[in-house]
A and B are shown apart, each in its own frame.
Chain A
Amino acid sequence: MAYFLFRRTLGFVLTLLAVSVVVFAVMNVLPGDPALTILGMDASDDALAALREQLGLNAPLVTRYFSWVWNALQGDFGLSHSFRVPVSELIAERLPMTISLAVAGMLVTLVLALSLGITAAAQHRRAGDWGVMFLSQLGIAVPAFWLSILLVMLFAVKLRWLPPGGFAGWSDPVAAIRSLILPTVALALVQSAVLARVTRSSALEVMRQDFVRTARASGLSQRRVLWRHVLPNALVPIVTIVGMQFAALVTGTIVIENVFYLPGLGRLIFQSIANRDLPTVQALVMLFAAIVVTANFVVDLLYVVIDPRLKART
């Protein structure tokens, strides 16, 4: 067990390191001179040279990489070229938005997908099953941005139940939740469609096993058998997909935040790319990558929590 934890943690750290090398290399090999971007096309050569010196762009690539990592570890991602404030401030300002959206999206996905998937499995080859399978097929086929637009048209423009976009922060919780509903639904529906299918097939697999019959023979209700005996045993494939989906949700916020004008990291990365704001883009890409790697790491740890047999084996 200790060895397993050590190995996974080491793998986690090494992956992050590898990601940082790739991110740094890609960003610094890309054409485009940050000094030129900052000062504009008609800047003098002297000014450009001075700024390059000031930004440390003249140092060798390896030195720049290590100083970037060293500063990043201390929470310093440099100065944003376009916003003229530290990148860390930009991130701190917008992270709560994106995390709220991703977590809400994940929760809605879990609730929807698990209940639909289990219902479909319990109703195997009957009406409920067909219904869920049809809806999930539809959900998989529809792209998130298009669904978002439809949702805005219906609930914000036509019915006027919910705001079409924007987010004013958590100081007014009711308003905050209201403005999160549509983006959350748009994010979650597609993911639930995928996860419901996984849940269904995994649960069907488990329902064939003997211990389910034992549970029924103990006089347990169907509901209890499904949620307390079948679902926990069906969780391993579900958690694998959830880990991947959390990553997809975080990156999915890029599209959703732009559709709904939400001031989050997704919108920030979009603007920064357009502004050639290298330090910001670099920090954000690294951050998104780190979230994905962390999600996978957490999933690995969850396997052991779910299945005591793995604890014995690892």
Chain B
Amino acid sequence: MIELANLSAHFGDAAALRDVTLTIQRGDQLGIVGESGSGKTLLALCLMGMASDSAHLTGRLSIDGRDMARASERDWQQLRSRRVAMVFQEPMAALNPLRRVGDTVMEPMLLHEGLSRGEARKRALSLFEEVGIPNPDQRLRQFPHEMSGGQRQRVLIALALACNPALLIADEPTTALDANVALRITDLLQRLAREREMALVFISHDLAAVARATDDIVVMYAGDMVERGPTAEVLNAPAHPYTKGLLGARPDPGVAVRDVKGKRRRLPTIPGAVPPLHALPQGCRFSGRCPVELPCCAAQRPVFSQTDQARGAACHLLTERRDD
């Protein structure tokens, strides 16, 4: 349904996204993880045709067999909401504060499908029920400021589903919510994708949420796809040092907060931060922060190679080992 082949996005000379290759089929539940600045949001915006005007896209981005990498804004308007839809990270700011949420949710139905107001209202009501908003009749008439963060995120999900999209992209849908609500939203997205046989792209830096909601995972670093595979396998046995680092930086409830001497254990972290676009290393973009760097890493870009039938990673260590 959606096919990316060597999709890259350049801002001037700097590549913010490099050679992303993946396919998304109906019913797929795909997680995209990485630190801030890894290009995961940019990738999502590319799928919506909403990357900024200054981003120059190359490669192939095909939706329903049509190459959209260089499509016009008008062509994209035809696809948004009807084929691809997106839920953004900040439910507090993502709804028009001057409109009743019912009007916001009904707007795409009225415009794209030519429903009458009555029909649209009926669909909005059933969507509100589907996403778990109690008293939908009353809620439709409320303004965003009259709702909690979790409720607003549900409204945004209902809005995204308004025209039955084939792909739903959720960009850090739970970051701004408290843990309990976040969990329920994650489960809701997963359930909706399953019931509607819709593809779900779930973007997060919360590995636990991704593990919960997705079947497959893509790990991004500085615009590169560094690892890909079935979620459970990748998280259990990460192949790329960056994935290992991400997993290490996660608090493990099984490990005591204090060690034997009573000192506070420090969470292992990946040293440094994602370098800015203009200061990326020549070769592997993770070189410099990588704990197991080889001499060739800084100069030579590792190729993304299949390690298993469904798995792959871009790391010199993997190819080196095979050469032996």
- A: residues with CB less than 8 A from B are 209-211, 213-222, 224, 229, 232-233, 306-309, 312
Docked CA distance A107–B114 (Å) = 33
14 A–B contacts from the bound complex (CB under 8 Å): A210-B93, A213-B88, A214-B88, A215-B96, A217-B48, A217-B88, A219-B81, A219-B111, A222-B73, A229-B96, A233-B96, A307-B98, A308-B97, A308-B145
Question: In the complex, what residues of A have CB within 8 A of residue B159's CB?
Answer: 214, 218
Tell me the complex Cα distance, A215–B80, Å.
10
- Is A210 within 8 A of B108, CB to CB? no
Is B116 in the interface zone, CB < 8 Å from A? no
Q: Is B240 an interface residue (CB 8 A)?
A: no
A233 touches B78 (CB 8 A): no
Q: Is the CB of B79 within 8 A of A219?
A: yes
Q: Which residues of B contact A221 (CB under 8 A)?
A: 77
In the bound complex, residues from chain A placing their C-beta under 8 Å from that of B143 are: 308-309
Q: Output the nearest chain A residue to B143 by Cβ-Cβ distance.
A: A308
CB distance from A201 to the nearest CB of B (A): 19
A307 to B156, CA, bound (A): 21
Contact residues of B between 284 and 311, Cβ < 8 Å to A: none
B 25-62 binary contact with A (CB < 8 Å = 1; else 0): 00000000000000000000000101000000000000
Q: Which of A210, A229, A232 contacts B90 (CB 8 A)?
A: A210
List, in ascending order, chain B residues with CB within 8 A of A214's CB.
88, 94-96, 156, 159
Instruction: Give CA–CA (A215, B94) in the complex, Å.
Output: 9
The A contact surface, by secondary structure, is helix
Q: In the bound complex, do residue B108 and residue A211 qualify as a contact, i.e. CB atoms below 8 Å apart?
A: no
Tell me which residues across on chain B come within 8 A of A211, comparing CB atoms: 93-97
> Which residues of B have CB within 8 Å of A309?
97, 143, 145
- B82, closest chain A residue (CB): A219
Contacts of B156 in A (CB 8 A): 214
**Residues in B whose Cβ lies below 8 Å from that of A229:** 96, 99
A109–chain B nearest beta-carbon distance, Å: 23
Does B112 touch A at the CB level, under 8 Å? yes
Contacts of A222 in B (CB 8 A): 73
Q: B residues 184-215 with Cβ under 8 Å of A?
A: none
B162 beta carbon closer than 8 Å to chain A: yes
Distance in Å: Cβ of A314 to nearest Cβ of chain B: 13
In the bound complex, how far is the Cα of B144 from the Cα of A214, in angstroms? 14
Name the B residues within 8 Å of A213 (CB-CB).
Answer: 50, 88, 94
